């Protein structure tokens, strides 16, 4: 989600975030963290798929909201209808 919000390319996760997380884990755990890092799915396809799923959910939620909401229109005498 942070990758999507940043507006940066999806590959930033693999190129910047994973190496930074690996360095933090090495510092905190005092041992190689490569097995943990390998299990974090940050490939371009994974990130893109998650962004698509989130946007699809937003569109679906908005459509559902608009279909179940009542609207009213207020007109006054200055309203002209052109045919």
In a domain, 79, yes or no: no
In a domain, 31, yes or no: yes
DSSP class of 62: H
Give the count of domains, the chain.
Answer: 1
In a domain, 78, yes or no: no
pTM: 0.40
| pLDDT tens track, the chain, 83 positions | 566 566 666 667 677 777 888 888 888 888 787 777 777 777 667 777 877 787 788 888 999 999 999 888 877 776 666 65
In a domain, 81, yes or no: no
Q: Is 8 left (phi over 0), alpha (psi -120 to 50) or beta?
A: beta
- Note down the domain range covering 39: 2-66
């Amino acid at each position: 989600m942070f990758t999507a919000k940043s507006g940066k390319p999806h590959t930033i996760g693999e190129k910047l975030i994973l190496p930074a997380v690996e360095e933090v884990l090495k510092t905190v755990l005092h041992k190689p963290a490569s097995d943990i890092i390998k299990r974090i799915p940050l490939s371009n396809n994974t990130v893109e798929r998650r962004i698509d799923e989130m946007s699809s959910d937003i569109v679906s939620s908005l459509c559902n909201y608009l279909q179940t909401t009542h609207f009213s229109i207020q007109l006054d005498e200055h309203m002209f209808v052109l045919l």
